[in-house]
Structure 1
Amino acid sequence: MLMKNLLLLIVVICSLVFAACSGSGSSEQSTTGSDGDATVGGDETSGTDDGAATGDSFDYTWHNSVSLILANRCVQCHTEGGIRSDTPLDDFDTAKGLAALIKEKITERTMPPYLAGFDCNEYSNDERLTEAQIAAISDWADNGAPEGQPKADQVVDVEPLLDYSMDRVDLELKLPTPYTPVSTPDDYRCFLMDWPETEVKYVTGWGVKVDNAKIVHHIIAYYVPPENVAAYEAFEAAESEPGYACYGGPAGKGASSADQRATWIGGWAPGGKAGKMPLNTGIKVKPGGKIALQMHYSMTQNEPSADQSSIVFQLEDSVEKPAFILPWTNFKWLGGDGMNIPAGESDVVHSFSNSPHMLFSFLGTVIDNPLTLHAVGLHMHVLGISGTVFVQRADGTTEECLLDQPHYDFNWQRNYVFKEPVLIYPGDKLGVECHWDNSLQNQLLVDGKPRTPRDVSWGDGTVDEMCLAVFYVTGADEAPF
């Protein structure tokens, strides 16, 4: 029972990993981008220099190269109303003044914030810049950021991101009342909303309508089953402000592990778009429950102000492949056993691997068929610096990389959708390895000074830590836990 309760708890807290800066998608879908006449020459995943002339025969200008690159990879966040509205990149005059900063960020590969490493796996809608695109922007910045001719022929190739937008909106739920954050600089607030459907539905697409983009940092929707509704209503009733305080998941203060049970449906982070689940898949939602919507408001750049955002769903009566979220970690760590991160150490490593089929059998659900992984994410807290997710095949001789994040960033967490879904057979082991830096140089700042390092282990707080892989999975009718 302890193992089962721990697994239910971690389902709740894993959701941050799937808050992404792009719409959901899958290689199984064949939708093309809206800018289909753009040519494709560079290798988007390997960053090779196949796609553009980089010699002195071309002058890279705003119109013939830079604006196209930024529009396809950066403007979704760097625009008026976006999360980075302080540095808009959708007009020439502003971008010219930021040319040196743009060059610095792209050459460091801190922007765009697509943190999957090279030479591990291939993902749908890879947002990384190719070496050719980096060279074009760098040349433009070094030469004074010329504007060029408005209708100039493009001289650098940019592959438009695929369109994974929802086909339709079947249901929209809005925050019950406008809310102005009361905690700064961060306010985690959950709001309960009725789920109006009277029959079983499958969520096959999801998105948000952000009301106040200046302060909304992420949004996560959870489904609370009927047997847990009373507990969640009590969380809300205990507070005078709208909603209730929540961190790490949708449960309120003092919740038992049984009360915390909720199913993750979808997450949004700055720049995200409404999107479909991988083709022919969906997450099952039964009637009689509620939606707990976790809002993370960030006031690091703006003062608190009212927000009344809403969420939208695409629903189906049935799907070919029901899906669920699989959190993956060493559950001994949750009990404080074996994930110690000593104060002052600059590279602490912990890893874990096990068979999901064996775990499900232990919990009472036997699955003989392969599981299919459609997407993967990695979650640590602020001391995390790098991590990998992998599969060890049952023959013991093969290890396959699923996700490598050589430069993990707590502020840019997302899911990565595989170009080709990955099959996990009985006996295969899923593994995760995390690295942390607990030295003085990597501490959170308090009043402009780094916190004193302390021994750290697993916990929900920002100054605690986690090591968690999260998968979007098909292969079972419902989540087997």
Structure 2
Amino acid sequence: MRNYPETILALLCFAVVSIFSIASNAAEPRERHIGRRVTDFTLTDATNESPWKLTDQDAKVIVLYFNSTECPVTNRYLPTLNRLKATMADKGVVIVAINSNQHDSLEDVRQHAREYEIEFPVLSDPLGRVARSLAATRTAEAFVLDRDFKVRYRGVIDDRYERGVTRPKATRDYLADAVSSVLKGRAVKIPVTDVEACPINLAAEKDSIQPQRTVTFSEHIAPIIQRRCQACHRPGGIGPFDLITFDDASAWSDSIREVVTSGLMPPWHADAPHGHFLNDRSLTEEEYATLLDWIDDGREQGDPEKLPAPREFSESWSIGKPDLVAEMDKSIEVPAETPQLGVPYKYVWAGEPFESEVWVTAAEVQPGATDVVHHASVYIVPDGVDIKLVNDARPTGTLNDLFSPIDSLPHLVSYVPGDNAFVHRGGHARRIPKGARLLFEMHYTPVGKRATDRTKVGLKFAKQPPKHEVLSTAAINYWFSIPPGAADHLVHAKTERFTRDTVLLAMNPHMHYRGKAFRYELVEKSGERSVLLNVPSYNFEWQSTYWLKEPVLLPKGSRIECTATFDNSEDNPFNPDPTVRVTWGEQTWQEMMLGSIEIYEK
């Protein structure tokens, strides 16, 4: 129910590069390279440390793919390229990857090639000369060369991945079509497509070094990154790269600028004054301006003596040492690529039944394979609730597979990127009754390599029953029907009226890829309405729980009403299929409408 782009070093990479070409500026129009002959170059193949020379290739078609060890878009295309090589090698097609990021060392590139089982040469271009000669500025860009080494196509492999958008399947196979056209001696119909993957972080040229500026990493930027980024971007964190040192931040500064100015990072989607929520990850206006000033004015390091003390992270549990750790009873194998109908949700028991009643004051989910766990939910299954798991599949109910016993289970804790734990306020705890068991619901997203996951949850217990028992409930609508092509389809749901004064602690809206916006409103017994949470740009990839800084009283007789907006039009780049009518279902090509809340009764 309820997934981008380390350290810059002066590297001796054993790469021998010889490029005798006309100077090429990255800012020039990309179309100008179509029809140009790529001048010869020699780079080191990191997979075997042997030289790879362009003009030594006796091929009808050569595909140059700008690679990265950390960009998730680049990684997800590697199985596609492996398949293309397997099907096209005997037709005279050569595929080669080029790593031009300044921080990708030869050993980094070699290890990455092994990890992702890359079946073609992977070249190290530490000075970025090949990237500069082709005006390549982003990873995941492919160049198709004919037998005369002339560029016939440049752009994306297909249309599955764009910045902030992941389609379930491609609708246009640009690279395969281009290769096929060149093999047949035909012109490529679409010779240039736009690429929106990670920027290539090229080594700075000597004449581009900037003088010292007022804003420095040590004094101004490090504190911001500690507050807003390091929860995920740290060793052992879920971020795909670290943001700890000056070198880290400088290496990824172009990417940081992009995702910050576009609003993709830090991930936060509530439309509320800054600080309204306890876990608000967004930048203040001052932080935003300072960060961009540093990037634009030369990325000065400053005096290391002015660095703040390093932020401390527990090597194991952010909530402290748990009283109990429950691990999934079995491991789950996750494929390298997403099947056509997606990876079905997996359901796995964890641990033994509780021998006595316990009160949970803190809980934390730790994925075994963070890169493939999109989200995880842990449910409390009370003694006597009959749930049978077959092949880790979702237990079904009796009404056309719509409902399941899981739909009515108490929710304990969830994991989504950047949000995997809770620590209740003093005097608050959640009850697990004697005899209950824990059940994991797992949603996996393949990332281009096979993975094995065994997620676990850590719990801390109160020594005695708390003053307030924390409960979960939700406003749910199972009966909606979203018409084909509808761009702003509204679906409503409401809770029962509260039978006593109740206190609202947190909210968690849930939809799938057609989810566009979500709003919670408190409706008083008198009919007066007030907005509790507005999420104007819902993003399925970041399913945050919004914990209120100041809990809100829900008076007796009031209720919460939720309004979800769905976009089933072709203008929604996430949309799996705008031509179908969409109803309730657990898979991401179906939809859900849940407005979950965390409360306690006074």
TM-score, shorter chain, exceeding 0.5: yes
The corresponding residue for 1:390 is: 521
Query: Does residue 573 of structure 2 align to residue 427 of structure 1?
Result: no
The corresponding residue for 2:472 is: 325
Query: Does residue 247 of structure 2 align to residue 93 of structure 1?
Result: yes
The corresponding residue for 1:76 is: 231
Query: Does residue 432 of structure 2 align to residue 285 of structure 1?
Result: yes
List per-residue Cα deviations over 1:292-345 (Å, max 9, x = no partner).
11222321x24122223321111234111112101113xxx41x3xx3322222
- Counterparts of 1:71 and 1:258, CA distance in 2: 42
1:215 and 1:304 in contact (8 A); partners too: no
Give 1 or 2 for the bigger CA radius of gyration. 2
Unaligned runs of 5+ in 2: 3-211
Return the match for 2:282 from 128, 148, 151: 128
1:375 and 1:416 in contact (8 A); partners too: yes
- Counterparts of 2:562 and 2:366, CA distance in 1: 34
Alignment of 1:107-118 (within 5 A): 107-118=261-272
- Counterparts of 1:352 and 1:383, CA distance in 2: 17
- Counterparts of 1:123 and 1:108, CA distance in 2: 22
List per-residue Cα deviations over 1:82-133 (Å, max 9, x = no partner).
3322x43223223223222212222232211111112499211322101111
Residues 200 and 153 of structure 1: CA distance in aligned 2, closer, same or farther (over 3 Å): closer
- Counterparts of 2:562 and 2:263, CA distance in 1: 24
Residues 160 and 345 of structure 1: CA distance in aligned 2, closer, same or farther (over 3 Å): farther
2:506 and 2:597 in contact (8 A); partners too: yes
List per-residue Cα deviations over 1:255-286 (Å, max 9, x = no partner).
96457642211112223454312331222211
1:386 and 1:436 in contact (8 A); partners too: yes
- Counterparts of 1:187 and 1:170, CA distance in 2: 32
List per-residue Cα deviations over 1:35-92 (Å, max 9, x = no partner).
xxxxxxxxxxxxxxxxxxxxxx97212212122211211122223433322x432232
1:324 and 1:472 in contact (8 A); partners too: yes
1:165 and 1:276 in contact (8 A); partners too: no
Partner SS, residue 356 of structure 1: coil
Query: Does residue 350 of structure 2 align to residue 193 of structure 1?
Result: yes
Q: CA RMSD in A?
A: 3.1
* Percent pairwise identity: 24
1:61 and 1:148 in contact (8 A); partners too: yes
Return the match for 2:569 from 439, 452, 459: 439
The corresponding residue for 2:334 is: 181
Pairwise CA distance, 1:434: 1.4
Query: Does residue 371 of structure 2 align to residue 217 of structure 1?
Result: no
Partner SS, residue 138 of structure 1: helix
1:250 and 1:294 in contact (8 A); partners too: no
- Counterparts of 1:160 and 1:393, CA distance in 2: 44
Residues 188 and 354 of structure 1: CA distance in aligned 2, closer, same or farther (over 3 Å): closer
Letter in 2 for 1:111: M
Residues 78 and 246 of structure 1: CA distance in aligned 2, closer, same or farther (over 3 Å): farther
2:475 and 2:495 in contact (8 A); partners too: no
Normalising by structure 1, report the TM-score.
0.72
Residues 311 and 66 of structure 1: CA distance in aligned 2, closer, same or farther (over 3 Å): same
- Counterparts of 1:285 and 1:153, CA distance in 2: 44
Residues 418 and 309 of structure 1: CA distance in aligned 2, closer, same or farther (over 3 Å): same
Residues 210 and 352 of structure 1: CA distance in aligned 2, closer, same or farther (over 3 Å): closer
- Counterparts of 1:175 and 1:345, CA distance in 2: 40
Partner SS, residue 180 of structure 1: strand
Structure showing greater relative contact order (alpha-carbon pairs closer than 8 Å, 6 or more residues apart): 1
Return the match for 2:583 from 437, 457, 465: 457
Pairwise CA distance, 1:395: 2.4
The corresponding residue for 2:543 is: 413
Letter in 2 for 1:209: Q
Pairwise CA distance, 1:465: 2.0
1:208 and 1:310 in contact (8 A); partners too: yes
Letter in 1 for 2:278: S
Return the match for 1:59 from 214, 227, 230: 214
Partner SS, residue 453 of structure 2: coil
Partner SS, residue 305 of structure 2: coil
Partner SS, residue 115 of structure 1: coil
- Counterparts of 1:403 and 1:341, CA distance in 2: 23
Partner SS, residue 348 of structure 2: strand
Query: Does residue 383 of structure 2 align to residue 226 of structure 1?
Result: yes
1:208 and 1:312 in contact (8 A); partners too: yes
Return the match for 1:245 from 357, 372, 393: 393
- Counterparts of 1:70 and 1:443, CA distance in 2: 30
Residues 119 and 224 of structure 1: CA distance in aligned 2, closer, same or farther (over 3 Å): same
Residues 59 and 250 of structure 1: CA distance in aligned 2, closer, same or farther (over 3 Å): farther
- Counterparts of 1:307 and 1:320, CA distance in 2: 37
- Counterparts of 1:434 and 1:83, CA distance in 2: 29
- Counterparts of 1:400 and 1:160, CA distance in 2: 39
Letter in 2 for 1:264: H
- Counterparts of 2:549 and 2:406, CA distance in 1: 37
- Counterparts of 1:431 and 1:114, CA distance in 2: 22
Residues 111 and 259 of structure 1: CA distance in aligned 2, closer, same or farther (over 3 Å): closer
Residues 136 and 160 of structure 1: CA distance in aligned 2, closer, same or farther (over 3 Å): farther
List per-residue Cα deviations over 1:209-235 (Å, max 9, x = no partner).
33322323322211111112xx43x31
Letter in 1 for 2:254: A
Letter in 1 for 2:248: T
Unaligned runs of 5+ in 1: 1-12, 17-56, 358-366, 477-481
Letter in 2 for 1:245: A
1:221 and 1:293 in contact (8 A); partners too: yes
Residues 461 and 443 of structure 1: CA distance in aligned 2, closer, same or farther (over 3 Å): farther
- Counterparts of 2:285 and 2:321, CA distance in 1: 37
Pairwise CA distance, 1:187: 5.2
The corresponding residue for 1:470 is: 596
Residues 119 and 132 of structure 1: CA distance in aligned 2, closer, same or farther (over 3 Å): closer
The corresponding residue for 1:105 is: 259
The corresponding residue for 2:413 is: 266
- Counterparts of 1:256 and 1:117, CA distance in 2: 33
List per-residue Cα deviations over 1:110-164 (Å, max 9, x = no partner).
211111112499211322101111101111111122222212378xxxx999xx9
- Counterparts of 1:73 and 1:443, CA distance in 2: 28
The corresponding residue for 1:303 is: 449
Letter in 2 for 1:190: Y
Normalising by structure 2, report the TM-score.
0.58
2:364 and 2:459 in contact (8 A); partners too: yes
2:221 and 2:291 in contact (8 A); partners too: yes
The corresponding residue for 1:10 is: none
